[in-house]
Structure 1
Amino acid sequence: MSLADHTTRSFADALDDVSVGVLPVGSTEQHGPHLPLSTDHLVADRIAGALDNPNATVLPTLAVGVSDHHRQFHGTLSVSDETFERFVRETVESLAGHGVRKVAVVNGHGGNKPALERAARTLRAEETAFCAPWHWWDAANYVIGHADQHETSMVQHLAPALVDEERLVEAEQDGTESWGKRVHGASIGFDTADFTESGAVGHPAEGSAMLGEDMFEESVAELDAFVDWLADRPFEDLLAEPHR
């Protein structure tokens, strides 16, 4: 059950069973001419929302992330790496104050990864919480670009009305096949606009709702299994330094 749908008393009662928090995070940023700005937080929100595990409570979705590299495209919102890290860390700290000290962060945006890893390290070092970043594409074993066939497929499955199917070919033709731009070994593609006109990286025209359904179901199953893994482990064991 979503934490936000509880009353304060019903959540207190639920703590007899709940030991894992699930925090969906994403971004509000360009995803080419064919996908909505909500793509990253939409996917994270839906995966977390589909979870049916008595060990977990799902927190409200953080819809704005670290997206400065998309700033040249209209509609993109962004906060600094430090602001995002602090927001996640303090959100997890507040949950830990109620006794839920194990958290899976369901991430839908690659640009959030460094901040999430730093927040997780700090929370463990301070013995406040064990916070594990969980990226849906890694769990589903897909190498994704940006607004590519994988993200397109996810939205075609979850919210088909938000996909502009007439712009799929344009997204691919004016996009690029791989992320970044390199010259003589140096990376000079600091922003997405440096190497893709449409904002897409990959092959969005190859997306399908069927592929999206497969990826979604696999992601939810992997998240469910990970929540069980966290729930089964004593908090003290998760804080322990790895064997050398």
Structure 2
Amino acid sequence: MHLLAEETTTTASDAFRDTSVAVLPTGSVEQHGPALPLGTDFLAAETVARTVDRDDTVVLPTVPVGVSDHHRQFSGTLWTDPTTFENYVADIAASIASHGVKKVVVVNGHGGNVDALSRAARRLRADEVAFVAPWNWWSNLDDLTKELFGTPGIGHADAIETSMVYAIDDELVREGALEAAEAGASESWGRSVHGAEIGFDTADFSESGAVGEPTKGSKEAGDRLLEQAASELDSLLDWLAAQPFSDLLPEDHR
């Protein structure tokens, strides 16, 4: 694995000769209730990204702050405008593409970033600058989360994210606050009235900031989540590395 930030300009130049794909972790610095750290999302993305053990891949520095305005009522949350985030990620992808690495997997840890990442990816592809594949680390784990927790999908500061933080560094989980997090949590994301979504901010439907059941998280579950996410990422990189860049462009640009 090549960590770009730890290379020199000379060693980076050498590494790029054999590099097919760049990996860019993105996340957020936002509230995850009273038990999990503000950096949960970017720490998860970075940890999964750094499981990559292959010579044809370079891991870029993490983009820690994302689109998190909907958590702004909770202390410590940082956020940026969606367009700013979109352009920033696009600039990073264009930068690495200028060095010859035109295929990028964005390992994303925050749902609020998804729309902006998709827009950036579409624009870069249309302009033939780079092919960017946005990928949430939990994207293909529904069967495992159902096995572990009885439900597919991910909430917020729930059992899944609690387990992942346990796997990253168990000292980051404030175990004494897990029950309080769950007591003030909502059962599901959002709030609707007669089919109209009115839960624009997390504070509209969650007292603690959590969504789900954080007390069900465990180190053992986190290790399995991390292992499976790493395997899925490696398979995605296998696929993308094998694709000629020209084949990834829109039909009308080939």
Deviates more, 1:43-52 or 1:139-148: 139-148
Q: Between the two proteins, what is the percent identity of the paired residues?
A: 57
Could you say which residue in structure 2 is the equivalent of 1:241?
Answer: 251
Q: Which amino acid aligns with 1:127?
A: E
Aligned-pair distance for 1:80? 0.4
Q: Structure 2: how far apart are the matches of 1:39 and 1:164?
A: 13
Aligned-pair distance for 1:228? 1.2
Residues 25, 106 of structure 2: 8 Å contact kept: yes
Could you say which residue in structure 1 is the equivalent of 2:82?
Answer: 81
Q: Structure 1: how far apart are the matches of 2:174 and 2:49?
A: 25
Aligned-pair distance for 1:152? 0.3
Residues 55, 228 of structure 1: 8 Å contact kept: no
1:126-171: CA deviations, max 9, x gaps?
Answer: 0000000010111323500100000000001111111110111111
RMSD: 1.0
Aligned match for 1:201, one of 207, 211, 223: 211
For the pair 1:121 / 2:131, whether they are aligned, the reply is no
Aligned-pair distance for 1:35? 0.1
Mark the runs of 5 or more structure 2 residues left unpaired by the alignment. Answer: 143-151
| Secondary structure, counterpart of 2:139 in structure 1 | helix
For the pair 1:63 / 2:64, whether they are aligned, the reply is yes
Q: Structure 2: how far apart are the matches of 1:20 and 1:157?
A: 26
Aligned match for 1:164, one of 159, 169, 174: 174
Q: Structure 1: how far apart are the matches of 2:251 and 2:53?
A: 31
Aligned-pair distance for 1:15? 1.7
Aligned-pair distance for 1:233? 0.6
Deviates more, 1:98-107 or 1:181-190: 181-190
Q: Structure 1: how far apart are the matches of 2:157 and 2:116?
A: 22
Could you say which residue in structure 2 is the equivalent of 1:135?
Answer: 136
For the pair 1:187 / 2:188, whether they are aligned, the reply is no
| Secondary structure, counterpart of 2:132 in structure 1 | strand
Aligned residues: 242
Q: Which stretches of structure 1, 4 residues or more, deviate above 3 A after TM superposition? A: none
1:23-56: CA deviations, max 9, x gaps?
Answer: 0000000000000001000001111111101110
Mark the runs of 5 or more structure 1 residues left unpaired by the alignment. Answer: none
